[in-house]
Amino acid sequence: MSGHNFLEFSYLVAAALFILSLRWLNHPRTARRGVAAGVAGMTAAIIGTLMAPEIVAYRWIEVAFVVGFVVGVPLSWVPLTAVPQRTALSHAFGGLAAGLVGIAKYSHWFDTHELTTFTTSAISLEVILGFLTFTGSLMAAGKLQEIIPTRPITYRNQNLVNLLLLALAVVSAIYLSINPNFWPAFVALIVLSLGFGVLLIIPIGGADMPTVISLLNSYAGLSAVAMGFVLQNKLLITAGALDGSSGFILSVIMCRAMNRSFTNVLFGAFGQVQAVQQAAEEKTVKSATPQDVADLLTNADTVVIIPGYGMAVAQAQHRVHELYDQLTKRGVDVKFAIHPVAGRMPGHMNVLLAEAEIPYESLVEMDDINPEMPQTDVALVVGANDVVNPAARHDTHSPIYGMPIIDADKAHTVIAIKRSMNPGFAGIDNELYYSDRTLMAFGDAKQVLGDVVKAVAGEGVGAGAH
Amino acid sequence: MFFVFMLATFVGFQVIQNVSRLLHTPLMSLTNAISAIAVVGSILIAGEQFSGFTTILGTVAVAASMTNIVSGFLITDRMLRMFREKERRPKAEGGNAGTAR
């Protein structure tokens, strides 16, 4: 009996520590304490569980623990550009665990004739959520790793097929709750959920990945909640609900940042309906050499750098940091404007810049930087495109119309570093580049920034103080 | 049980809304690790040895959850270590064990 009291107590401690852990994440200064609290809570819960009297054999648990460490430790070493894939993969593992526990419980209670309407409904929910998260997240990870084409894969009546699959799964679940011992319906449920996860994600394009990851995060949390209902375990319900609400909040933020709805992300197949490029009018751009860029930057009082995922693709973060150092040393006020969907998952850009040793005080959210843009001397766009496209404000025909953007065009001068004039990821032409305030520096971001840094540093010796 | 779910969701919304936007990527990897608490359910199934079938499923589930716990906490900490404040020696990062606060 004391084993159970101890178990209850360890669960209580764990739940409290998990909540504290998330609370401490409200500021970078306390955030690492949050991780420590999470680890402590997890350890308490695992030790409590291992001491539970139901456990009669430890061999397989030990094997599984070893496997978890052997796979988990290297997974935490991935480069930060690959963090979204790792995250998707861990959603997949979470979903898989929930789904497998659901099957195990069904098989157990099937044998002992303990299946009731309630337990079977809870198991069905757990299995649906778990397996759709499993295959859906695997697909998302594949797209992020570019094993699977990132462009949306679509076919005729796609949404109809998806809805039909989901409806079939729900019907099997309902049938099963009435006839809990009719196992073929359970098997059908598993297959349908696995299939639905795949089909749900393949039509979604790379640009929507931040939303999709958040949504799958939410599902993974909810599948843990369903598992908690099946096992009558309050700690599981609590932790799953924390995860689920976190994923939900992040999805809402991501959707808002792109001015899209959930249904639109899931059933819209972004990038599919690109307007035909209007017959190219004679538009001219002004180009600039690295030396021009360096002059403009050193003569500015305030500079806002707007990074996009293209910066990470070009591996230019460290050049950006050098530029930041050089300019700050000369008394230029340098800030970074971070769009919520910059990168491949929520907050991704902040992590990439933090890795490049840029202090987090200089990373400013879109809503906070926009009022400052009209007073900014130079806006430097590095690898960003759609998030600075003014068409989002006024062109009702643009696919990105209504999306909140960083007001780069309001700065006195705009410098955009770009490989060529080809339209970006979403295939949308960006009128910012044709503005007479804008200078284009063509070339690989890493290369161009390297030259700019050299020019800035050289100027310090030659021209003297500005 | 449903009561617990409601309460935890409510607390979750409150706490997570206060998380700095800077830290949304670490937030996701941390909540990932935390929801891998599913490991306790999996341990019970792997350890009670009801049948060979359930033991195998339980074992795989423990391994999957444990992977999430280990990699989730490690990578969250790794990312958080990178967030630094202004006015620090550019190459500070010697022995960081002692007075880290």
Quickly list DSSP for B25-44: HHHHHHHHHHHTTHHHHHHH
Residue A170 phi/psi, 5° resolution?
A: -65, -40
Q: What is the pLDDT of residue A272?
A: 43
Half-sphere CA count of A255, side-chain side, radius 13 A: 17
**Residue from the list B5, B45, B50 with its beta carbon closest to the beta carbon of A237:** B5
Residues paired with residue A280 on neighbouring β-strands, in sequence order: none
Distances, alpha carbon A206 to alpha carbons A153, A276, A397, A402, in Å: 11, 20, 21, 20
Segment 39-68 of chain B within 8 Å of chain A by CB: 39-51, 53-55, 57-68
Contacts of B81 in chain A (CB under 8 A): 32
- The per-residue pLDDT for range A293-330, each reduced to its tens digit, is 999 999 999 999 999 988 998 899 999 999 999 999 99
The whole-number pLDDT of residue A156 equals 82
3 state DSSP class of A276: coil
Strands A438-442 and A413-418: parallel
In a domain, B55, yes or no: yes
Q: Would you say residue B91 lies in a domain?
A: no
Q: Based on C-alpha coordinates, what's the Rg of chain A? A: 26
- For residue B96, is it within any domain? no
Using the beta-carbon criterion (under 8 Å), do B73 and A42 form an inter-chain contact?
Answer: yes
pLDDT recorded at residue A279: 42
Active site residue A386: yes
The number of domains in chain B is: 1
With CB atoms and an 8 Å threshold, state whether B74 touches A72.
yes
Quote the pLDDT of residue A2: 62
Contact A240, A147 (CB under 8 A): no
Asked if B93 is an interface residue toward chain A (Cβ–Cβ < 8 A), one would say no
Residue pLDDT, tens place only, B11-39: 999 999 999 999 999 999 999 999 999 99
Q: Note the pLDDT of residue B41.
A: 93
What range does the domain containing B66 cover? 39-83
In terms of pLDDT, which residue wins out, A131 or A203? A131
Q: Quick check: is B58 in a domain?
A: yes
Q: Judge: B47–A240 Cβ closer than 8 Å, yes or no.
A: no
Which H or E run contains B80? helix B52-82
Residue B91, pLDDT above cutoff 60? no
Distance CA A77, CA A94 (A): 19
Mean pLDDT value across residues A255-268: 78
Average pLDDT, chain A: 89
Determine, for residues B42 and A101 on separate chains, whether the beta-carbon distance falls below 8 Å: yes
Shortest CA gap A362–chain B (Å): 8
The verdict on residue B10 lying in a domain is no
Tokens 């990870």 sit on residue: A141
A368 C-beta neighbours (distance < 10 Å), count: 12
CA distance A317 to A343: 13
C-alpha closest to that of A332 among A455, A438, A465: A465
Reported ipTM exceeds the 0.85 cut: yes
Q: What is the pLDDT of residue B84?
A: 83
Backbone φ and ψ for A281, nearest 5 degrees, come out as -75, 160
Closest Cα in chain A to B19: A26
Say if B30 falls within a structural domain. no
3-class DSSP state of A287: strand
Assess if residue B64 is contained within a domain: yes
Answer whether B71's CB lies under 8 Å from A70's CB. Answer: no
- Name the token pair of B5: 């779910």
pLDDT surpassing 90 at residue A283: no
Which of B7, B39, B67, B73 is the mutation pick for testing A, counting most A CBs within 10 A? B67
pLDDT band at A398 (very low <50, low <70, confident <90, very high): confident
Which backbone phi and psi does A424 adopt, to 5 degrees?
Answer: -75, -160
- Quick check: A57 and B47 CB within 8 A? yes
Stronger pLDDT, A260 or A41, i.e. the higher one: A41
Both tokens assigned to B101? 């606060």
* Helix (H) or strand (E) run with residue A418 in it: strand A413-418
Residues near A272 by beta carbon (within 8 Å), at least 6 away in sequence:
A152, A154, A205
User: Quick check: is B20 in a domain?
Assistant: no
| Chain B residues within an 8 Å CB radius of A25 | 19-20, 23, 26-27, 30
Q: How confident is the model at residue A423 (pLDDT cuts 50, 70, 90)?
A: low
Contact B68 A90 (CB under 8 A): yes
Nearest-5° angle of CA B12, CA A262, CA A173?
A: 80
- B61 with A96: Cβ contact below 8 A: yes
Q: Of the listed A208, A243, A295, A386, which one is catalytic?
A: A386
Residue of A156 and A97 predicted with greater confidence: A97
SS3 assignment, position A330: coil
